[in-house]
Amino acid sequence: IDSRLPDVGTTIFTVMSRLAQQCGAINLSQGFPDFQPDPALAAAVGEAIAAGANQYPPMAGVPALREAIATKLQLEYGAAYDAESEITVTAGATQALFTAIAALVSPGDEVIVFEPAYDSYGPAVRLQGGVVRPVALLAPEWRPDWAAFRAALTPRTRLVIVNTPHNPTGSAWPREDMETLAALLDGSRVCVLADEVYEHMVFDGRRHESVARHPALAQRAIGVSSFGKTYHVTGWKVGYVFAPAALMAEFRKVHQFNVFTVNSPAQAAFASVAGRAETWRELAAFYQAKRDRLRSGLAASRLRLLPCAATYFQLVDYRAISDLPDVAFAEWLTREAGVAAIPISVFSHDRADRGIVRLCFAKQDATLDAAVARLVCL
Ligand code: PMP
Ligand code: GLN
């Protein structure tokens, strides 16, 4: 077979979750909660089915849900997005990202991706014939290397993909970096694809810098979020995009032919909650407590904790325990210590090994405590 992606294997999330299951390990690898969502949200899906929400909803999404999303963007970021022409409901963030890239990238176009980078960006760009231009995020704060960004920006640059809060590092861009990006793109035709799926998980009083807050970026940006993260239902696969009408029109040209529309009972259920600020505003404290529980437990271990400002991921440097490369260490940790983690070298084009793995703390306290009990023995 003539593969379009000859160097691409199975995503690390599938590989590590499968291994965790085979070994009976505690799975802190793939990012998903091991607890139930709000029962009222689950009940709302059943009620929507009973009420007949079982056929194709409108292509761009259920109107009441788009209205709720517009309300949220206004309340949270002070941004006015028109529910009719500037918001589209997607089958999770993964489809949103893929569709946005397909809508914007032509063969030969260059796309700047900050590394480490979520693993779907590169293949999606390459499938459109685009060329990935990696730019480093610099440890320990994982802020962009702006000198390298300037060097990567060329007349062929079509798109910059920004992910803040950031998977896998748990960092979040400060306002200054958003302003630098806006200044560097001023006067260009470059678009921004802003992956903000962890928008509500920012800790220690930080503020999430959505593109929606920054008019100079918002006018050229497609923003992406995921209800899977915000409502603890990653398997429901519902998310959304927001963008100025002209950009959204391009997005919808592709969206209508790759999914057309999204699960209607789930959309109806989210419509009943998505405009309610308390729910998403509780999320930061909820996950900050889990972060702190994991960190204080691991303080007694030989793992070195990196800073964690946001998301539900904690990076740990394991070099006091092992000199294995991170992929081998993650496998060893799963098999021998019974805790599955994600090696982070897979998120960079050169697979640079830093002796760091990622632990997901979107878990019940008992799960975190059990994992800590195993990790402090190493
Ligand atoms: N982007 C990032 C940075 C993510 O971490 C994830 C989920 N792991 C996604 C996109 C995909 O989100 P969804 O599950 O809604 O497709
Ligand atoms: N986003 C999740 C993570 O980073 C996993 C998503 C997936 O499995 N594709 O772990």
Q: Give the ligand 1 atom nearest the CA of 118.
A: 3
Cα(first)–Cα(last) distance of the chain, in Å? Answer: 45
Same-domain check for residues 303 and 324: yes
Same domain, 201 and 104: yes
CA 30 to ligand 2: nearest atom? 10
123 and 248 in a common domain: yes
Q: Which atom of ligand 1 is nearest to the CA of 32?
A: 8
AA letter at 320: A
Regions of the chain with pLDDT less than 50: none
Contact between residue 331 and residue 20 where contact means Cβ atoms under 8 Å apart = no
Is pTM, for the whole model, over 0.80?
yes
State pLDDT tens for residues 304-344: 999 999 999 999 999 999 999 999 999 999 999 999 999 99
Kindly provide the ipTM of the predicted complex, given to two decimals: 0.98
Residue 66 shares a structural domain with residue 105 = yes
- Any domain includes 7: no
Is residue 213 within 8 A of residue 79, CB to CB? The reply is yes
167 lines ligand 2 (CB under 6 A): yes
Say what the pLDDT of residue 251 is: 98
Is 97 in the same domain as 200? yes
CA distance 11 to 120: 9
CA of residue 255 to ligand 2 center, whole Å: 22
The reply to whether 263 and 315 lie within a common domain is no
C-alpha of residue 170 to centroid of ligand 1, in Å: 14
Atom of ligand 2 nearest to the CA of 14: 8
**What's the domain range around 149?**
39-274
| Distance (Å, whole) CA 203 – CA 337 | 29
Domain assignment present for 231? yes
Same domain, 50 and 157: yes
- Give the residues across from 194 on adjacent strands: 162, 223
Q: Tens digit of pLDDT for each residue in 253-264? A: 999 999 999 999
Using the 3D structure, point to which of 239, 274, 309 is the last residue of a domain.
274
Asked, for residue 300, whether it belongs to a domain, the answer is: yes
Same domain, 237 and 293: no
- Taken in order 92, 93, 95, 100, the sign of the CA dihedral is positive
What's the Rg (C-alpha) of the chain? 20
Q: Is residue 6 part of a domain?
A: no
Ligand 2 centroid, distance to 189 Cα (angstroms): 31
Last residue of a domain, one of 224, 252, 274: 274
Claim to verify: residue 360 and residue 262 sit in the same structural domain? no
**Do 370 and 354 share a domain, yes or no?**
yes
Please name the residue whose Cα sits nearest to atom 1 of ligand 2. Answer: 31
Domain identity same for 140 and 257: yes
CATH number, domain with residue 355: 3.90.1150.10
For position 275, what pLDDT does the model report? 85
Residues with CB under 6 A from ligand 1: 31, 92-94, 118, 163, 167, 195, 197, 226, 228, 234, 239
Q: Which of 29, 226, 233 to mutate to test ligand 1, by most ligand atoms within 8 A of the CB atom?
A: 226
**27-71 residue pLDDT tens:** 999 999 999 999 999 999 999 999 999 999 999 999 999 999 999
Tokens of 372: 């800590």
What is the rounded distance in angstroms from the CA atom of residue 252 to the CA atom of residue 340? Answer: 38
The total number of structural domains that make up the chain: 2
Angle at 311 between CA 307 and CA 316, to 5 degrees: 40
Distances (CA, A) of 269 to 14, 48, 66, 81: 28, 7, 12, 21
For residue 263 and ligand 2, the question of a CB distance below 6 A is answered with no
Report d(CA 92, CA 238) in Å as an integer.
4
The rounded Å distance from CA 121 to ligand 1 centre is 11
pLDDT of residue 135: 98
| 349 in a structural domain | yes
Pocket probe for ligand 2: among 8, 18, 30, the residue whose CB has the most ligand atoms within 8 Å is: 30
Distance, CA 229 to ligand 2 centroid (Å)?
10
Residue 151: predicted pLDDT: 98
**Is-contact 35 232, C-beta < 8 A?**
yes
pLDDT number for residue 65: 98
Q: What is the pLDDT of residue 274?
A: 87
Assigned domain for 242 exists: yes
The span from the CA of 239 to the CA of 226, in Å, is 4
| Residue 5, in any domain of the structure | no
Query: Quick check: is 2 in a domain?
Result: no
235: domain CATH number is 3.40.640.10
User: What is the strand order of the sheet 191-195 is part of?
Assistant: 87-90, 239-242, 221-226, 191-195, 157-163, 110-115, 131-138, 143-144
Choose the final residue of a domain: 274, 298, 321. Answer: 274
Let me know whether 224 and 269 are in one domain: yes
Report the 10 Å Cβ neighbour count for 160: 28
